[in-house]
Amino acid sequence: MDTSVRKVSHSGRVQRVVSPGGIEAWLVEEHAVPLFALEFSFRAGSAQDAPGRAGTAALLAALLDEGAGDMPAAAFQEALADRAVELSFSSGRDWFQGTLRTLARNADEAIRLTRLAVTRARLDPEAVERLRAETLAGLRYDANDPDSAASRRFFELAFAGHPYAAHPQGSVESVSAITRDDLQAFRAGALARDSLVVTCVGAVTPERLSAYLDELFGDLPASASLAPTPTAAFRGLDAIDIRDLDVPQTTFVFGAPGLARSDPDFIAAAVVNHILGEGTFTSRLWQEVRERRGMAYSVRTWLHPLRQGALYYGSTSTRNDRAREALDIIRAEIARMAQDGPTEAELEQAKRYMTGSYALRFDTSTKIAGELMGIAFEGLGIDYIDRRNGLVAAVTLEEARRVAARLFGDGRLLVAAAGRPVGFD
Amino acid sequence: MSASAETGAPALAGASAGGPAVHGETLPNGLQVVVIPDRRAPVVTHMVWYRTGAADDPPGKSGIAHFLEHLMFKGTERNPDGVFSRIVADLGGQENAFTSYDYTAYFQRVAKEHLPTMMALEADRMTGLVLSDAVVAPERDVVLEERRMRVDGDPGHQLVEALMASLYLHHPYGTPIIGWMHEIEGLNREDALAYYRRAYAPDNAILVVAGDVDPQEAVALAATHYGPIAPARAPRAPRVREPEIVASLRVSVADAKVEQPLLQRYYLAPSVTGAAPGETEALEVLARCLGGGTISRLYRRLVADLELAASVGAHYSPLAVDLSRFGVYAVPREGVALDRIEAALDEELAAVVASGFPEEEVARAKTRLLAAMIYAQDSQYALASQIGAALTIGLSAADVAARPARIEAVTAADVHAAARRVLQSRRSVTGLLVAA
């Protein structure tokens, strides 16, 4: 039973649709459920927020469905609700995304409303202030949350001096400073056809989608006009930054430079990371920190290939008086992986899991649209779904050891902590 | 205003919110089997739900249902020491488990050809659990860390615990699912095994299989793997009933870490098991009209018109074995005092109790509720979870299928009546999160 290179069900069903206006989308036509899911991303995110105005892209994302065209906020939201159209926008450091979910029979109206949101959102002062207030309340609510505090601090230190240092949602100070001009500047510079990636899954024909693409995006400027994000150096290795918080646990966020998504070693790095800290129930960190010692409910590591500064990072929370011990164990496991790499058995297990579970990412229309977006956005190619399991299966032990050494290197880490950890004087 | 608002929900016509065909059967040993075919991808979701949850914890042993859920991953005689999880991972499967007040559930998601293996493993775990003190002690530490992480570092969560403990003065819903710290610390191997032997049995369980599977084949497989397990004939014992509350209670959590105050209020409300026909459906529509999104009444008034709140909401879940709750919350904008926002909230609630909602707002809320049910059909995991949760609290698959039509039938008068019945301060607890 060789499942290692099994193809997932939707491979081969992905079509490239190009509209008369030249806008491309990837489509999986699926009529079993009478809905369709559309995702569209622009290659610009909070890294483009002006200095001191972090949170601009995020606030714009919150505002695009708050009034558009002739309809003020309430009228626009009612129009969405009357057809049960689910439209939302979100943003990250490198991306700005729209997500549409609608019943197929309401698609025409859903597309009309989405087009208005993308091209003619009003950004009325009333809506700006209302969403600003909501954002600020959220930022204040999380101000002393240990996870949020440690994670913010980690990125501030790792990317000090670079736009990546700021949280995509911004801070109370920066969000308070955002003007309507900032929002309009981001929109005008970022929402353009040449930075657009579109994927769609559902009950829609290629011909119909093609017409929708021009309707939705045909009026956008041809080219984005934002300054490119500079390359980000990873800073702060060896630092341990402790934010004092009166809580019984210490939350650690730890990490170091990683590999770019386009790096030829990325797949091998993903396999090695799975073995170190990603696999729930099975990873080395899970076994050492949780199963054997009961030190934490959760411990995980991630690869995070930001466009201009890839990194890997992890996090855990453990009681203050065992914080030192927990961090020492994590460091030792990272060093062990860097030095010896995985065992043959670990590598085979990880490959079996990663190849076997790939199909689970494609069992709903919403998930398929999201997976396709990730593939398209990273430029991995429309045939990547078919190739991906073969790439994982091809990782050799020698390669895994080499990449483990490359990724985890000398074991140096930047550590941001929140809590009252004992043993760090 | 629009046609759809006047005539119910024609926006959804042609799509069935009732969901796909559900095949149900009960094995001779009492195991209920439900199969939900979804042939779009070659994967299955396999879930076993037990009709036991945190509200069935014995007095003084709070958290035992949840602790046992953790310990269920520790192995059996046939599959010791993490063999279960290793096999699932080797097959590229995903697994997890969760505990609520009324149920405990275990699931795996795998390629369809591995369904028999999952059944063999889960059936073995239904009665074969083996526990040693060596694995119990570190896992108890894990649960203590889970509680520290979720509750002890989060004043907002501490407020929810205080609200629940005050709303349910007598009923075990007032005790947190994860348990109280001092009682978790005392839980041991014998407690877990005693609970396990009493509650884990085929006649106290529901098997849900969703995905690329033939219903007859799935039932036959279930008979092979689960059929031989003997029933326990020990149904869930009824819990104590909550007395009639005649006071409106107030609680507050003051903590130096709080930078954003908020107000939350819970009202006791009927659940599907005790409500009059149509009542829980009306309450669901009420929650949407009142606090579901930016077109809801509370949002339009407190956030948009009066500019007092940064966010507001209302929530209600009909699924509970005993009395459920209806909740509202409001987060004030900077510089707005909690008592001011509470006064404005009370004013809006009083207006709803006095006048209800116009047909148009009710129609819109129904459209969105029904659409959410249709969107949920995109996910076999979501469908399986809905059915599992409903059946553990005593509903039938037919009840679940009939729910969209019952939502559709809710009138503005029904919503008004539900508001009058539930939004009574003498059956409520108001909680404030404030800076110390």
pLDDT digits (tens, 9 = 90+) for A337-347: 999 999 999 99
Beta carbons of B367 and A81 less than 8 Å apart? yes
At B268, which amino acid appears?
L
Based on the fold, state whether residues A148 and A179 are members of the same structural domain: yes
Report the alpha-carbon distance of residue A72 to residue B339 in Å, rounded. Answer: 31
Q: Is the pLDDT at A294 greater than 90, yes or no?
A: yes
Question: Is pLDDT larger for residue A35 or for residue B175?
Answer: B175
Q: Is the pLDDT at A1 greater than 60, yes or no?
A: no
- Interface contact B145, partner A, CB < 8 A: yes
Between CA B367 and CA A255, with CA A371 as vertex, the angle to 5 degrees is: 115
Question: Is pLDDT larger for residue A306 or for residue A226?
Answer: A306
Which residues in chain A are contacts of B332 at CB distance < 8 A?
A: 137
| Amino acid A34: pLDDT | 86
Based on the fold, state whether residues A212 and A256 are members of the same structural domain: no
Beta carbons of A32 and B40 less than 8 Å apart? yes
Classify residue A374: in a domain, yes or no.
yes
DSSP secondary structure of B136-149: HHHHHHHHHHHHII
Q: Is the pLDDT at A11 greater than 80, yes or no?
A: no
Task: Look at chain A and report how many structural domains it folds into.
Answer: 2
Q: Which residues contact B221 (CB under 8 A, 6 or more apart)?
A: B115, B116, B119
Classify residue A155: in a domain, yes or no.
yes
Q: Is the pLDDT at A7 greater than 70, yes or no?
A: no
Based on the fold, state whether residues A196 and A263 are members of the same structural domain: no
| Amino acid A234: pLDDT | 97
Classify residue A226: in a domain, yes or no.
no
Classify residue A349: in a domain, yes or no.
yes
Question: Is pLDDT larger for residue B313 or for residue A6?
Answer: B313
Based on the fold, state whether residues A212 and A68 are members of the same structural domain: yes
CATH number, domain of A301, equals 3.30.830.10
Beta carbons of A33 and B13 less than 8 Å apart? no
Classify residue A43: in a domain, yes or no.
yes
ipTM for the predicted complex: 0.93
| Amino acid B85: pLDDT | 95
Based on the fold, state whether residues A249 and A340 are members of the same structural domain: yes
Percent of chain A with pLDDT over 90: 92
Report the alpha-carbon distance of residue A389 to residue A420 in Å, rounded. Answer: 44
Q: How far is A251 from chain B (nearest CA, A)?
A: 9
Based on the fold, state whether residues A197 and A308 are members of the same structural domain: no
Based on the fold, state whether residues A266 and A364 are members of the same structural domain: yes
Based on the fold, state whether residues A145 and A253 are members of the same structural domain: no
Give the structural domain span for A97: 7-217
| Amino acid A2: pLDDT | 36
Which residues in chain B are contacts of A419 at CB distance < 8 A?
A: 153
| Amino acid B12: pLDDT | 54
Q: Which two tokens stand for residue A135?
A: 């954002």
Based on the fold, state whether residues A124 and A265 are members of the same structural domain: no
Domain end position, chosen among A202, A217, A232: A217
Domain end position, chosen among A169, A184, A217: A217
| Amino acid A3: pLDDT | 36
Q: How far is B323 from chain A (nearest CA, A)?
A: 30
Classify residue A225: in a domain, yes or no.
no
Based on the fold, state whether residues A213 and A244 are members of the same structural domain: no
Report the alpha-carbon distance of residue A158 to residue A312 in Å, rounded. Answer: 11
Q: Is the pLDDT at A4 greater than 60, yes or no?
A: no
Based on the fold, state whether residues A282 and A177 are members of the same structural domain: no
Domain end position, chosen among A183, A217, A251: A217
Classify residue A2: in a domain, yes or no.
no
Q: Is the pLDDT at A154 greater than 70, yes or no?
A: yes
Q: How far is B311 from chain A (nearest CA, A)?
A: 6
Matching residue, tokens 């002393």: A144
> How far lies B101's CA from each of A34, B53, B65, B107, B319, in Å?
35, 5, 9, 18, 11
| Amino acid B235: pLDDT | 87
Partner-chain residue, chosen from B38, B260, B307, that has the shortest CB–CB distance to A140: B260
Rounded to two decimals, the pTM is 0.94
> How far lies A395's CA from each of A1, A245, A303, A361, A389, in Å?
19, 43, 17, 21, 10
**Is B287 in contact with B326 (CB distance < 8 Å)?**
yes
What parts of chain B have a pLDDT lower than 50?
1-10, 14
Classify residue A229: in a domain, yes or no.
no
Based on the fold, state whether residues A407 and A371 are members of the same structural domain: yes
Name the residues of B annotated as catalytic. Answer: 69
Best residue in B139, B146, B294, B373 to probe A by mutation, most A CBs within 10 Å? Answer: B294
